[in-house]
Structure 1
Amino acid sequence: MLRTALRNVLAHKARLLMTTLAVLLGVAFVSGTLVFTSTISTAYQKSAEEGLTHVDVAVRPDNDADASGPGAAAYLGQDLLTGVTALPGTGNAIGEASGFAALADKDGKLVGSGFASRGANYYPGDGGEDARYPMSAGRAPEAAGEIALDARTAERTGYEVGDTVRLSVNGPVREETVTGVFTTDDGNVAAGGTLVLFDNDTAQSLYTAPGAYSQITVEAAEGTSQQQLKDEVTALLPADAEAITGQQLADDQAEIIKSQMSAMQTGLLAFAGISLFVGVFIIANTFTMLVAQRTKELALLRAVGASRRQVTRSVLIEALVVGVVAAVSGLLAGIGIAAGLRGLMNAIGLTVPDGPLIVSGSTVIASVVVGVGVTMLAAYLPARRAAKIPPVAAMSSVHATATARGLLVRNTIGSILAAGGGALVLAGIGRDDNGLTMGLGAAVLVIGVFVLTPLLSRPVIAAASPLLRLGGVSGKLARLNAVRNPRRTAATASALMIGLTLITGMTVIAGSTQKAIDKLAAEAITADYVVSTANFAPLAPEIADTLADRSDITAVSPLRMAPVYLNSGSKDEYLTGVDGDSIADLVNLPFAAGSFDGLTGDNAVVDTDTAEKHGWQVGDSFGVTYEDGTAGELTVSGVYEANEMIRGIMLDNATITPHMQRVQDLQVMLSTTAGVSDATKSTLEEALGSNPAILVQDKQDISEDIAFAFTLLLNILYGLLAMAVIVAILGVINTLAMSVFERQQEIGMLRAIGLDRRGTKRMVRLESVVIALFGGVLGVGLGVFFGWAVGEMIATSMDTYELVLPWERMGVFLALAALVGVLAALWPARRAAKLNMLQAIKTE
């Protein structure tokens, strides 16, 4: 039986090719994802470890420690650094002061990628040099107006020692002279970021405070362990600081990187799972048709003594061979995909640290298990069916078709699953379980619809009859062929249905959410422009002052955030500082009670959720403790309806600013005399120094930014789901090719009684298009339902959400489904047209 199975694989290698390709693509996606994420994770981890080579202990503020007021713990002082440096176990100690620094290239554009654009201090210490940043050219910055650039940034921007560059830390443009270029093991730089070094005093004035540091890193003296050094350092620390070993820092960074990569890996593996799930239909279809075509052969094996178990085993051995070949090929293809993805990331500017491709043993095992497991699982039912063929079937060329009772059982099970899945989806709308109920319901519903597809195929395909009549005799034959074997048609169409369900559902959700956000921005903001930094880091208050001094600006309000303790002692509340005189002209918030009038002194307005949470009404007072530890009392002067863009406790900036540790704005809203126009926007950008780090956006710009994010995400999802669609196309090709082989005698008879080659091709093409459109209609229908259900869940937290059906895109999806049918039919149609009539008629 083993030799028989292997001979069957070789005899049917052309028919098994599409099945092998389907499994190969799925395995390649799995192995490529595992190799890519392992490679990136390891590269970042090694890069981070290199940056901690000279760090045995790190001292940093302890934000969890009790302090006099809310907010971040105080910075570390020079006295602490001096004390740590003098410890017996200290070899070297460095004070760090760092933060955001946006560097402009020679064309005035932002260099780096937002959050990876950093600035830091050059700490010379006692020796006059900072071991972290050895200079490859020039010298270190020594005074205000001087900077040093990392070598990678200098290379890609073309800056050299002596050049003048423009940069921004928190808003205002600074012009600095490059005095040196340095090398570094900093992981952010290795990943494509930028690092700008200032002299120590300048960095402290920009990022911390004079004589203060955000972190102190300590290198142990020879013979001192990290734990011994930590114990020595801990004895010096104040209550609001903590010491951590370098090993713990490395472990923490590794855990963060692992967590970040895990999220990406999970997402990519989900799409790989979809591709493999689609591939199951192709494999099951292929082996079902192979079993049907070999009815006489299998029955004869039974007649000469083969047991049911041996027949089942022979079919599964064939599946095992296909699975092994596909798994090994998929693993190799996945390694190639991972290498290509890393190269692509580097090509588009998302630099990845250097390092080898990581192909772990778990990746190899996962690829083989997935490839072989999926193939064997999909082939099991056809194998069972083969074993049930009675020996007497050897006397007939056609095995018995499915009984009416079998179809009735299938339809009953399908109806129960579809109804149960639909009920779970509807029940999930109002449940607060992160969509688990809805996700489970969606999976059950899709399975139920798949089970019902043989029943659904007849009415749906019948609806296409008027169009098929245009194809004459070929069209009529195509319709009959499509409904002749509803199980096969259903399995083929279901593969395409799954891909289009996900694509349509995501398109509906993205379009509806974007529309809701556009509406929200239009209704909530009446300001002409909103000014912020490119990476939404805090703005210096000078930006708002510069704008307020302009005569063409009618209203300005900076938004400032500050943490406070309330009467309850909660650290979870933040105050939002605004300009009490201007805010009413810049936002549109409906008030349930009170108004913005009188938003001065100790008056505050709160959103309805916060008021309900604390039981506040207009006129009530509540106590607060500010960042500087000062106690105060605020009075509720208004209660407004919050939205996704504006919420919380608001009061006048004049009240909150004196209590802030560091005065900085999240953004600045403003209105102008000229209103929104390109000329006005250009004028504002010039007034702010044509700063690459500053964004001046109107409501349309904000909406387009959000739309860009949605569009980018949607395009990525389209690209990932394209794998499932490609697998579905292979399924249609496979089904049609094997169907043509199965119907050789019938096609020969049709050719003999007058159906020409063109008519034969048309018949196969129309059959393919009908099957593809059947899957497309089911996919689009399910996608709209899922999109509506998820939208109803979103609407519970977003009042402006409303369902938007992308009719044009749904039309494109159906047109693409038809195109899939046409392309999939090219080879089978050509093969059918080339059949020799006489040989085909004699085929048994």
Structure 2
Amino acid sequence: MFRTALRNVLAHKARLLMTTLAVMLGVAFVAGTMVFTSTLSDAYAKSAAKGFEGVDVVVRPDYSGGGEEFDPRAVPDLPEELLDRLRRVSGVESATGSVSGFAALADKDGDLVGEGWSTQGANYDAGPDGKKEDPRYDLRDGRAPTRSGEIALDSKTAERTGYGVGDTVRMSVDGPVRQEKVVGVFDTDDGGVAAGGTLVLFDTATAQEMFSQPGRYSEIVLTAADGVEQRELVERVEEVLPKQTLATTGEELADEQARMIEASMDGMRTGLLVFAGIALFVGIFIIANTFTMLVAQRTKELALLRAVGAARRQVTRSVLVEALVVGTVAALVGLLAGVGIGAVMRVLMGSFSTLPDGPLIVEPTTVVASLVVGIGVTVVAAWLPARRAAKVPPVAAMGSVHAPATTRGLVVRNTVGALLAGAGAALVLYATGLEDGEMPMGAGAGLLVIGVFVLTPLLSRPIIGAAAPVLRAFGVSGKLARLNAVRNPRRTAATAAALMIGLTLITGMTVIAGSVQKGVDKMAAEALEADYTVSMANYSPLSPEVEQTLGKEERVTALSPLRNSPSRIDGGYEPLTGVNGEALDELLELDFTQGSFAGLGGESVIVDTDTAKEHGWKVGSSFEVVYEDGERGELTVSGVYEGNEMIRGIMLDTATLDPHLEQVTSMQVMVKTADGASESVKSSLEEALGDNPAILVQDKKDLSESIAQMFTMMLNMLYGLLAMAVIVAVLGVVNTLAMSVFERSQEIGMLRAIGLDRRGTKRMVRLESLVISLFGGVLGIGLGVFFGWAAGELISGSLATYELVLPWGRMGVFLAMAALVGVLAALWPARRAARLNMLEAIKTE
């Protein structure tokens, strides 16, 4: 039986090719994903570990807290006195104070350098006497910065920008433009720089002024003397540390960094593997379809095996051995292709951003997972056809056909499908009314898709039958194509289901993305009366100088900052938002359920309805607040408004809030101008701010486009990933048609003999493929719209302005894409059918 199985594999190489390709693509995607993410994780981890070379102990503020009582005051940074004390600890060879923060650097064209969030600034610690070398940075050219107005650049940024010692550069830390002179260029193992970011060094006093406070550091790096272990040094250091500080070994920090990098890769890996899983799931239909047809074509052979003594288990085993061979070959080829895909993905990502150097990593788990997935999926998909093969009675050896599906079997299938689809639809509808309905909706969606798949043989006849009027226009070829498409509903269903799943996901995601975009646009238009919002490029805090500069502009008629500050109210944490109470009604359009903007000022505040409901407040309610600096105050509610994703929380006048802030900064500034939003006004505001690359000046259109760009990029990535499933679906259609042509060779020969020419034969196969593909497309788009609507009902609970948008244009494109799949998939089978020799085909058994 084993030899028989191998012989069958070799005898049906062409017929199993498409199955092998389908499995190979899915495995290649899995292997490529794992190779790519492992390679990135290893490169970043090694780069980070390199950055900790020479670091034995790091002392940092302890933000973990202690006890349940909330203290709104921030944990203090490390003082200069602590640095001096640590230098005197036995076993410490050197102690270096470090302070860092966001620092945006402009290139020679005025554009922001680096990757935005990785544009960092830090201090060069020259020691108490100003003559020590900082062991973290190796100066390649020039010298270290020693006073305000001087900086040193990392060598990679210097190479990218063309800056060198003696050049003057424009940069910004919190809004205002700074002119700095480059006095040095240095090498560093900093992971952010290795990933394409920038690092700018200032003298310690300047860095402290910008990123912390004079005389304070964000961390202190210690190097151990010879013979002193890192853990031993930590124990000595802990004896002199004050409260709210923490000492950690360099090894622990490197391990922590590696874990963080691995965790950050997990999301990407999971997302990519989901799409690989979809491709493999689609491939299951192709594999099951292929083996079903192979078993049907070998009914006489299998029955003869039974007649000469083969047991059912042996027949089942022979089919599964075929699947095992096919799956092993496909998995091995897919693994090799996956390594190539991983390398290509790394090169492609490297073209968009700078990645740290490192070898391609193929872990043992990648090899094992690829083989297990490829072989497992193939064998599992072939199990049902193998069972059917074993049930072929020996008496079937007298004929060449096996018993068709019984009426009872079809009734059972349709009943099960209807129950699954009904339960799935009911669960999805039930989930739309829940606050946290993601899990039940996901389960319902899975049941509904499975139910529809089970019902597709039943649905194929009426839906394909609806195309009869159109197919009649193609004469005999069209009529035969329709009859062939519904002749074997199970095969048609399995072929169409592969395309259905891909289009369901594509359509559903498109509906959700378009509807969310519309809701966000509507929310911005309704809530924002300001012409512009001004913020940092990485949305870090803005200096109050930005607000002051904008206030001096003649065209500006009203402006208000948005400041964030923690507070304690009723024993719990509540954020406060500082605004310009006098101008807020000109900048925001809020729906008040009680009160209005008029009372905002002094000790009066406005709150959103959710916060008011949580605390039981209404207009006139007073409450005690503990500010950021620990001082207490009493505030009174003068208005309650409907909050949204953009505007919510407790808002009070900046004149009340600012005295309690340790550092006065804004998250953004809203601006109203006399001439409204226009390119000239925007240009004048940007010019007033020094054409600063670190600052974003955005009107409503810009905000909408930035959000749309995010959704478009996300959708394009999803389309690209789901294209894998569509490619597998195309292979399924090709496979089905090719095998269908093979098993209908005698029939096609007879049609040719009674007058159907080659052109008519090609047209018949192409129309059959087109009808099957459009059938899958219609089901997929219909399910996608339903799931998009249902998911929108969940989203509307948190996004009040959510509005369902049906992308008719894109759905038309998706349907056209399904038709194109049918046309392309039929090219080879149609040509093969047209070239059959009539006499040889008629003699075929």
TM-score for the superposition, normalised by structure 1: 0.98
2:310 corresponds in structure 1 to: 306
Give the alignment of 1:782-801 within 5 angstroms.
782-801=783-802
Q: How many angstroms apart in 1 are the aligned matches of 2:126 and 2:337?
A: 50
Deviation at 1:49, TM superposition (A): 1.1
Deviation at 1:240, TM superposition (A): 2.5
Q: Does 1:108 align with 2:110?
A: yes
Deviations 1:513-572, CA, capped at 9 Å, x for gaps: 000000000000000000011111111110000001112110010111011112x222x2
Deviation at 1:687, TM superposition (A): 0.6
Q: Does 1:413 align with 2:401?
A: no
Q: How many angstroms apart in 2 are the aligned matches of 1:438 and 1:678?
A: 45
2:5 corresponds in structure 1 to: 5
Q: Between 38-47 and 372-381, report the one with greater CA deviation.
A: 38-47
Q: How many angstroms apart in 2 are the aligned matches of 1:598 and 1:435?
A: 41
- Contact 2:435/2:794 (8 A) holds in 1: no
Q: How many angstroms apart in 1 are the aligned matches of 2:460 and 2:673?
A: 62
Deviation at 1:434, TM superposition (A): 5.9
Amino acid at match of 2:104: A
Q: Does 1:533 align with 2:536?
A: yes
Q: Between 731-740 and 111-120, report the one with greater CA deviation.
A: 111-120
Give the alignment of 1:180-579 within 5 angstroms.
180-348=184-352, 350-433=353-436, 435-566=438-569, 568-570=570-572, 572-579=573-580
Q: Between 303-312 and 500-509, report the one with greater CA deviation.
A: 303-312
- Contact 1:65/1:239 (8 A) holds in 2: no
Aligned-pair identity (%): 69
- Contact 1:296/1:393 (8 A) holds in 2: yes
Q: How many angstroms apart in 2 are the aligned matches of 1:509 and 1:811?
A: 17
Deviation at 1:68, TM superposition (A): 9.8
2:617 corresponds in structure 1 to: 616
**What secondary structure does 1:115 align onto?**
coil
- Contact 2:94/2:222 (8 A) holds in 1: yes
1:174 corresponds in structure 2 to: 178
Q: How many angstroms apart in 2 are the aligned matches of 1:434 and 1:195?
A: 45
Give the alignment of 1:41-60 within 5 angstroms.
41-60=41-60
Q: How many angstroms apart in 2 are the aligned matches of 1:433 and 1:670?
A: 37
- Contact 1:68/1:629 (8 A) holds in 2: no
1:62 corresponds in structure 2 to: 62
Q: How many angstroms apart in 2 are the aligned matches of 1:157 and 1:829?
A: 58
Amino acid at match of 2:36: F
Deviations 1:262-305, CA, capped at 9 Å, x for gaps: 11111111111100000000000001101111111111111111
Deviations 1:727-774, CA, capped at 9 Å, x for gaps: 000000000000000000000010111111110000000000000000
Q: How many angstroms apart in 2 are the aligned matches of 1:235 and 1:83?
A: 11
Count how many residue pairs are aligned between Structure 1 and Structure 2: 841
**What secondary structure does 1:670 align onto?**
strand
**What secondary structure does 1:597 align onto?**
helix
Deviations 1:50-99, CA, capped at 9 Å, x for gaps: 11112222221222336995142111110011111111121211111100
Q: How many angstroms apart in 2 are the aligned matches of 1:378 and 1:48?
A: 44
User: Aligned to 1:91, which of 84, 90, 93?
Assistant: 93
Deviation at 1:433, TM superposition (A): 4.0
- Contact 2:285/2:498 (8 A) holds in 1: yes
Give the alignment of 1:734-753 within 5 angstroms.
734-753=735-754
2:134 corresponds in structure 1 to: 130
Q: How many angstroms apart in 2 are the aligned matches of 1:305 and 1:68?
A: 80
Q: Does 1:638 align with 2:657?
A: no
Q: How many angstroms apart in 1 are the aligned matches of 2:414 and 2:64?
A: 60
- Contact 1:103/1:166 (8 A) holds in 2: yes
Deviation at 1:413, TM superposition (A): 0.5
Q: How many angstroms apart in 1 are the aligned matches of 2:152 and 2:433?
A: 56
2:689 corresponds in structure 1 to: 688
Unaligned residue ranges in structure 1 (runs of 5+): none
Change (3 A) 1:315 1:830: same
- Contact 2:437/2:794 (8 A) holds in 1: no
Q: How many angstroms apart in 1 are the aligned matches of 2:412 and 2:437?
A: 35
User: Aligned to 2:83, which of 65, 81, 84?
Assistant: 81
**What secondary structure does 1:114 align onto?**
coil
Amino acid at match of 1:675: G
Q: How many angstroms apart in 2 are the aligned matches of 1:222 and 1:637?
A: 66
Q: How many angstroms apart in 1 are the aligned matches of 2:597 and 2:243?
A: 41
- Contact 1:69/1:626 (8 A) holds in 2: no
- Contact 2:431/2:437 (8 A) holds in 1: no
Amino acid at match of 1:218: L
Unaligned residue ranges in structure 2 (runs of 5+): none
- Contact 1:162/1:178 (8 A) holds in 2: yes
Deviation at 1:227, TM superposition (A): 2.1
- Contact 1:102/1:118 (8 A) holds in 2: yes
Amino acid at match of 2:52: L
Q: How many angstroms apart in 2 are the aligned matches of 1:426 and 1:562?
A: 41
Q: Does 1:781 align with 2:782?
A: yes
TM-score for the superposition, normalised by structure 2: 0.98
What is the CA RMSD across the aligned residues, in angstroms? 1.2
- Contact 1:147/1:179 (8 A) holds in 2: yes
Q: How many angstroms apart in 2 are the aligned matches of 1:735 and 1:471?
A: 22
